[in-house]
Amino acid sequence: MASAFSVMRNIRTLMLGGELRDAPLDGLRALSILWVVAFHTVYGYGILAPDASAAPIFAHRGSILFLMGYLGVDVFFALSGFLIGRLLLSEFEKTNGLNMRSFYLRRAFRILPAYYVVLALLAASLKGYHANIWANFLYVNNFLSVNDQYMSWAWSLAIEEQFYLAAPLLMLLLLRRDRKTQGRLLVGFLVFAVLLRAGIYRWANLDMNLGFALPKGDPTSVRYFDVLYGKPHTRYGGLLAGIYVAWLLRDKSFKLTSSQRGIITFASLVSLAWALVPRFIWTGAPSDPRALVTAVYITEHYAISAAAAGLILVTLAPGGATTLAHRVLSLKVFYPIAQLSYSAYLIHPLVIMGTYSGMDLKGTALRMRDFPVYAVAFAVGTLFVSAIIYVFVERPFMNMRSRFEGGQAPAPLAPATRPLS
């Protein structure tokens, strides 16, 4: 038991990657958490700074790439779906069943300790304000209005926990059928995910635009978050995209020709462009094409998840190690950042908002050129605090998992993905 808390052992694990890991996933995970930190660098300023100071920043075209960092969460969803899907598929192949107790126990040891530590830090920093903290304890905070959530950025963690409850049941539903039926069901679920978002968007009569509203006092954005943005039934498509890729790669005969690899890479880039480019062209004016605005809000999150899923498929399919995407995403610098991504997602808003709270934002307005520097500083500070949480909380409980599974050392499971906002 004491060895689980060995500081040197946990530091080595943080810095040195094992041979069996899928290195491209580290790159996706690392880039996503850095994008999320960049998002909150600007968004957090909008929350705490006077509107007169924040409005020019939100209207500046240079802030668009920062403010689109909320899409980093959709990469995390695809990664989570892939990793959990692969784990469950592998177990089913070996045992023709799923050990629910083992699965949920491993998830609890992986997710809960760091989460509850950061929740406790937030409660201590808010000095007795604990309204609706129960919802975070139970991972149902995403069913409250965003204005009523205690640790509001944990909405995505709640969705993932809800996904963990459903994933084994979904896999059992699929895997009792022949492979052709499995594929049809997965594609059908994915198509339904898009249609469901479209139906809810129209039913709720959301009147959105492609500009970025200030965080304070925007009822349209609040309603969008409460109805469409933070609910499991409107975000499960990103997780399912990852499961679909895991399902494809479990087929030992699956391979991609060079032309197929090129088509998937191109489609991933098109999906990425579809999610990003419209906001650089249209900025929320009343003259923006309504059909385009509607299409973006219905599909942008799933477009990013699809792009991530495509990159996972291209880089991990047989022959993927020769691709440029594999080489770039496998850079060793990404490994420790990826290891810290879960703790970083949990703690980064406290680092950012704590820093801003200590500044005189009323007396000194930041300029757009200041934010790249602040984003880098916040990323470094976040990773430093995350490393402490990882070494003393997150990793020790991961080390102890096998002790509570009857002494059997389970198969290696990649780090939990993380994620926004």
**Measured between alpha carbons, how far is 284 from 274 in angstroms, rounded to an integer?**
16
Helix %, strand %, coil % of the chain (to 5) = 75, 0, 25
d(CA 371, CA 101): 46
Confidence band, pLDDT 50/70/90 cuts, at residue 408: very low
Q: Give the pLDDT confidence of 185-242 residue by residue, as tens digits.
A: 999 999 999 999 999 999 999 888 888 888 876 788 899 999 999 999 999 999 999 9
The model scores a pTM over 0.85: yes
Delimit the domains of the chain by residue range. 2-404
DSSP code of 391? I
Residue 382: C-alpha distances to residues 123, 164, 348 (Å): 19, 27, 5
Question: Which of 413, 389, 386, 391 minimizes the C-alpha distance to 401?
Answer: 413
Structure tokens of 48?
Answer: 């705490």
Banded model confidence at residue 411, pLDDT cuts 50, 70, 90: very low
Nearest-CA neighbor of 71 among 32, 127, 101, 110? 32
The pair of structure tokens assigned to 268 is: 């991933």
Per-residue model confidence (pLDDT) at position 208: 85
The C-alpha atoms of residue 299 and residue 194 are separated, in whole angstroms, by 7
Three-state secondary structure call for residue 19: coil
Residue 246, pLDDT score: 97
